[in-house]
Structures are given as C-alpha cells and as structure tokens.
C-alpha cells in the first residue's frame, strides 16, 4: 500500500517510509557504458547506470536516493543496488578485463554502514571496483574525507570524482579524496573544440591531475572534434555517445572499440616530438604485478644494476605506483626483516608498499611533463604510459636532458631582438593549423610599409625601436585579444620587419576586426618615433631603393590575412605562402592596410 501525504504546495507525494525497498530495487536494472582509452580504443572499464525508474514511481536516481535517505534506508538501498550491479556485470563474458565504476551517494561517505568498507556486497574481493563520488551532493558535515577514502582503498576499491567542476566543493574534494580518476563534467566537454576557455581549463587541469597521479575521464564526448580536442589536451579516457550508448542487452564486454581506433587511424598528424623523445629517454624498467609476493620484490632489488624503484602494475599492466628500495631497508636490515616479509599473515601482496606517483602519457607535451615533475611525489620519477599501459619511467636525469634540448632548440629558433618564435616554429604552427580542419584559422603575414627608407633616414636604433614596439603589440594581442574573442593566438617573427600571427577558433569577423585594430594602433604608436615637425607634416624625405629622393608617409604596418574556414582539407603551407605573396601589394594599398584572402 502506498501512503500519500500533502505537501505545502497542495500536491500529494509518497511517504518514503511506506516503500517496499526490496521491490523497488528488484524493479530496477543496470545498463553499462564503456570508458575507453583515448589513444587506443582499449576498454578500461564500464559505468553501471540505473534504468527502469518508470516501474518504481521515482523520476530518477536522485529522487530514489533522497527518499531512501528520508526513510533511513539509504545505506541498505545502496548496498542492494551495488550488489545487483556487480552480479549483472559479472554475468557478462569478459568482465575480468575491465573495471566496474559504481556511483555512490556522497552522503554515505564516512558512515559505518557505507558500502564496500569491510565485506561489501560482492564479498571480500573488491579488485576492479571504482567508486564514483558525485560532486552533485555534499559529503556529510564533519566527515574527514581523506580518512574515509583511505578505508575504501584498504578494501581494494578505487576512487573517482564524478561531475567534476559543477559540484559543491571542487578542488577541496580533489585535495582530500586523492582520487584515482576525475571525470570532467559534460558541461566542459560540450563544444570544447570551439571554446578556447574550456580548452584552457581542461588543459590546465589535466596537467595538475597528472602531477598527482590522477587519470582524467572526459564525460559525454559526442563528436569527433570533441574527441580529438580532449585527447590532445591530455585526457586519458573517454565516455560518451560517440563511443557507445549505455546498453542493457550486453552479452559480452568488448575489449576494444573500433570507432576510437578508426578516429586515431584517420588522424594524419605524425607522432609529436615529445612522443619520440620520451620514447628514447625513458627507462624501460620491468614492472612487478601488484599480486607478486614480497619476496619477489626483494629479488627485484637484488639484481645487478637494479634501479632504486620498482614500477608496480595491475593485472592489465595499468600502473599503480612505485615501490622504493629505501622503504624496504627497515625489513632488509632488521634482524627479522626477511621473516616479516615472508609472513603470509601480514599479507603477501604489494599494495601496502606502493606509493602514488605522477603519470603522463607518452604524447604529453614536454611543458606538462615538467609541470608534473614539480609535484612533491615526483622525486622518484614519472611513470609514462602508452595506451593506458605502463611504458617506462622518466627519471630526473632524463627530464634534465629533455629540458636542456628544448632550451637549446628555443634559443636557436628565437629572434634575438624580439624573443618571438622564428621560422621553424611558424612553419610548425601552420602545419598544425592545416592538420586541424575542425576549427577555422586565420594565418596573417604582417610587415612594415617603407621600412628601409625609415631605417636609413632615422637610424638602426629607431628601426629596432619600431620592431620592438610592434612585437610588444603582437604579444599583447595573443594574450588579451585572443582571450576576448575566445580564440588561441600565436605570434612569430620571420625576420627584420616581417611578422606572423596565427589565430585558431573565434568568430572570423571578430578576429579580422581586431587584426585591423592592431594595425591601426601601431600606426598611432609609430608617431612617437618622429619629431613634432615630421608628425605634423605627415611624412619625411628619404632615398628610395633607386637612390632618388622622394617623400614617404609615416611608418605603418599592413597585412595579408588568409582565412581557412572549418572543414577545409588539402591545403599546404606552400598554398598559404603563395596566397600571401599574391596579395601583399593589395594590402599596402588598402585603406585599413588589411587584405583578406579566403581559401579552402
């Protein structure tokens, strides 16, 4: 029997104490949605998602759990639901190859009746279970989250933060929970390929998370452009309709998802320089499985030339952390140390000796690898993964070599006067833009009008001042103006008075308007390079290239902006250079000093 009460709004609602909660749980079923490696398509795990609320009288999981909490049955219901999810999952062929992600109500964290603390719904073995703590609900007042999470970890469960970025405590939860995974909310993923602010936030967070040894899951990926963007920003895993919708009718769990393999195959960009160099520099230390015996660990460190750390992986070669040889000294050098390590009563797995370490994908840009090394936990090195699996360890010495090489390369390809990137970096930028057809790009060549007579007449010092003045305008443009139009901007110095500006994303009209404004502002800035009489006259006398004296206007800059709309394919850097060369004269003759050419 269902008992109805009347709310203050006069609408009937169910009395939570009157529910037969066992019948409610029995009416529900679970669908499973894959979480896959972005670079390989390999399935990492599945999230269990409740279905069948139309058979219960509840609109969704939140309404059901709120009612259960009101009735004092939240822990009972959550335990029963988790048991049902685990039973359904383990009935599928191939379940041992992937983790099961279970949503857990944050109000249960720290409570003695919380699931998965001692003998959880699936029995004593919790290997392969990841508990998702949603940011949509707060943890109870007075709960020491770090201590509570440690109890789940001791039971063998992993921890994920769900809905990150749109919940209650955000960074505080991240700090206290020290999760294994963070699932970035769909709000930040939707349209990320066309939103510079979202890309900046996700890229920054990915760098910080990897420094803490946390893997990033991009939730709700629905388009190929979102996939490529999230992958290139450093996200490790993906979940969303592009890969697969939640399914109730699974008989077996696929180990790989061809849609991701095909997307990676269609990406014609070559492996990054960071990928190549990391592959050469990392130490390919053999890993130990976490279920190895502790005596195997002693044998590992007794080998000739062994490293001071041992990488530890799970049964699928996914990294769990490191064990340091120095931490074993209390066993090795104590009178009964060997016997302690061999004592099965103290546990014979390696879990209790593993320390978390930063993890980076082998294609992670070098700047983010350096950022990961700044973490306190990175003193022993960074674990490098490829396709989610352990690939090797980057030591401090290896990182120093990479940093030294990068600094030398930057110094060799940087204009000594303006400190802007030079021709090699500009070419890489153009090639990168042409390889990213999902976004629109503006590639602009900018140079001064009549710079030689100005330089000859007023001296090289004034010429250098003019070049520095324009370079500072460019640097400011790539920061403030680029952010204002929601685009990414890159400035380079070709040489002399020739400059390059590349803009990806943003509205074409806004980009071109701000580019014209940049040229107008420099024209105004350049007036400070002349004496008052020359400014008033609006020009000066100087020799032209043929040695004849004639009058030249005050210094100005002009530009050819090559616009490449989204979806353009088949363009080459040579085509860009040809378009610029063909329209330089038109730019110098334009009233606003800007000529726009559309390709693609």
Q: Cβ distance 84 to 244 under 8 Å?
A: no
- With a pLDDT cut of 90, the percent of the chain lying above it is 42
pLDDT at 573 over 70: yes
Confidence of residue 452 (pLDDT cuts 50, 70, 90): very high
Q: How many CA atoms lie within 13 A of 25 on its CB side?
A: 18
Mean pLDDT of the chain: 84
Mean pLDDT within 569-578 = 91
Q: What is the 3-state secondary structure (H, E, C) of 181-213?
A: EEEECHHHHCCHHHCHHHHHHHHHHHHHHHHCC
Q: What would the pLDDT profile of 194-223 be if each residue is shown by its tens digit?
A: 887 888 889 888 877 877 778 899 999 999
The Cα 84–Cα 86 span in angstroms is 6
Q: What is the pLDDT of residues 314-366, one digit of tens each?
A: 877 888 889 998 887 766 555 555 555 655 544 566 877 888 888 887 877 77
Per CATH, which fold does 29-269 belong to? TIM Barrel (3.20.20)
Cβ–Cβ < 8 Å for 561, 515: yes
What is the rounded CA–CA span in Å between residue 316 and residue 289? 9
Least confident of 17-21, 28-32, 402-406, 447-451: 17-21
Mean pLDDT value of segment 437-463 = 92
Instruction: Give every CB contact of residue 228 below 8 A, 6+ residues apart in sequence.
Output: 193, 263, 267, 436, 438
- Nearest-10 Cα torsion for 580, 586, 588, 593: -90
pLDDT of amino acid 245: 94
Q: What is the pLDDT of residue 214?
A: 86
Separation of alpha carbons 101 and 35, rounded Å: 9
The CATH number fitting domain 419-598, selected from 1.10.443.10, 3.30.70.270, 1.10.287.130, 2.60.420.10: 3.30.70.270
**414 exposure class (CB count in 10 Å sphere: 0-12, 13-18, 19+):** middle
Domain boundaries, the chain: 29-269, 277-405, 419-598
Would you say residue 460 has pLDDT above 50? yes
- Residue pair 572/539 in contact by the 8 Å Cβ criterion: no
More confident residue, 378 or 255: 255
pLDDT in tens, 59-96: 999 899 999 999 999 999 999 999 999 999 999 988 98
pLDDT at 119: 45
Q: What is the CATH number of domain 277-405?
A: 3.10.580.10
**What is the C-alpha radius of gyration for the chain, rounded to an integer number of angstroms?**
30
d(CA 525, CA 337): 75
Rounded Cα gap, residues 238 and 220, in angstroms: 8
pTM for the model = 0.69
């Amino acid at each position: 029997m269902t008992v109805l009460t009347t709310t203050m709004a006069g609408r009937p609602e169910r009395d939570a104490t009157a529910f037969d909660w066992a019948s409610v749980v029995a009416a529900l079923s679970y669908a499973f949605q894959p979480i896959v490696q972005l670079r390989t398509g390999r399935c990492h795990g599945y999230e269990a998602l409740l279905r069948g609320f139309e058979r219960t009288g509840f609109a969704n999981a939140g309404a059901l759990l709120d009612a259960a909490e009101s009735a004092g049955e939240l822990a009972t219901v959550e335990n029963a639901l988790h048991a049902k999810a685990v039973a359904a999952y383990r009935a599928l062929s191939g379940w041992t190859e992937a983790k099961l992600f279970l949503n857990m109500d944050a109000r249960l964290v720290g409570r003695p009746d919380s699931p998965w603390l001692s003998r959880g719904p699936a029995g004593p073995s919790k290997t392969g279970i990841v508990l998702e703590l949603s940011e949509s609900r707060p943890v109870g007042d007075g709960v020491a989250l770090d201590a509570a999470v440690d109890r789940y970890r001791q039971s063998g469960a992993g921890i994920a933060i769900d809905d990150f970025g749109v919940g209650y405590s955000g960074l505080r939860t991240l700090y206290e929970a020290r999760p294994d995974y963070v699932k970035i909310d769909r709000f930040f993923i939707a349209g990320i390929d066309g939103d510079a602010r979202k890309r900046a936030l996700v890229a920054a967070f990915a760098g910080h998370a990897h420094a803490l040894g946390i893997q990033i899951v991009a939730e709700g990926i629905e388009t190929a452009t979102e996939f490529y963007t999230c992958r290139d920003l450093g996200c490790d895993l993906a979940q969303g309709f592009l890969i697969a919708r939640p399914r109730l009718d699974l008989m077996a769990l696929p180990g790989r998802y061809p849609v991701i393999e095909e997307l990676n195959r269609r990406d014609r960009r070559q492996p990054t320089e960071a990928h190549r160099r990391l592959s050469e520099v990392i130490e390919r230390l053999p890993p130990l499985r976490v279920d190895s015996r502790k005596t195997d660990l002693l044998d590992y460190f007794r080998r000739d030339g062994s490293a001071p750390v041992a990488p530890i992986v799970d049964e699928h070669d996914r990294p769990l952390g490191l064990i340091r040889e120095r931490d074993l000294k209390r066993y090795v050098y104590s009178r009964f140390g060997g016997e302690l390590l061999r004592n099965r009563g103290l546990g014979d797995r390696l879990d209790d000796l593993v320390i978390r370490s930063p993890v980076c994908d082998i294609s992670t840009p070098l700047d983010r690898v350096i950022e990961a090394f700044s973490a306190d936990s990175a003193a022993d090195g960074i674990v490098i993964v490829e396709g989610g699996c352990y690939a090797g360890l980057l030591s401090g010495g290896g990182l120093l070599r990479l940093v030294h090489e990068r600094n030398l390369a930057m110094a060799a390809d940087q204009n000594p006067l303006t400190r802007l990137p030079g021709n090699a970096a500009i070419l890489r930028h153009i090639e990168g833009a042409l390889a990213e057809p999902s976004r629109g790009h503006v590639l602009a060549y900018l140079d001064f009008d009549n710079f030689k007579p100005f330089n000859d007449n007023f001296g090289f010092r004034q010429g250098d001042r003019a070049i520095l003045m324009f370079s500072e305008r460019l640097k400011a443009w790539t920061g403030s103006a680029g952010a204002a139009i929601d685009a990414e901007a890159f400035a380079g110095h070709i040489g002399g008075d020739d400059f390059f500006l590349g803009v990806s994303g943003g509205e074409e009209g806004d980009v071109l308007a701000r580019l014209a404004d940049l040229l107008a502002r420099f024209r105004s800035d350049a007036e400070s390079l002349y004496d008052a009489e020359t400014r008033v006259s609006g020009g000066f006398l100087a020799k032209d290239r043929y040695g004849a004296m004639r009058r030249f206007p005050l210094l100005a800059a002009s530009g050819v902006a090559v616009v490449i709309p989204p979806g353009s394919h088949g363009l080459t850097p040579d085509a860009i250079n040809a378009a610029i060369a063909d329209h330089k004269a038109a730019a110098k003759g334009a009233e606003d000093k800007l000529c726009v050419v559309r390709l693609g």
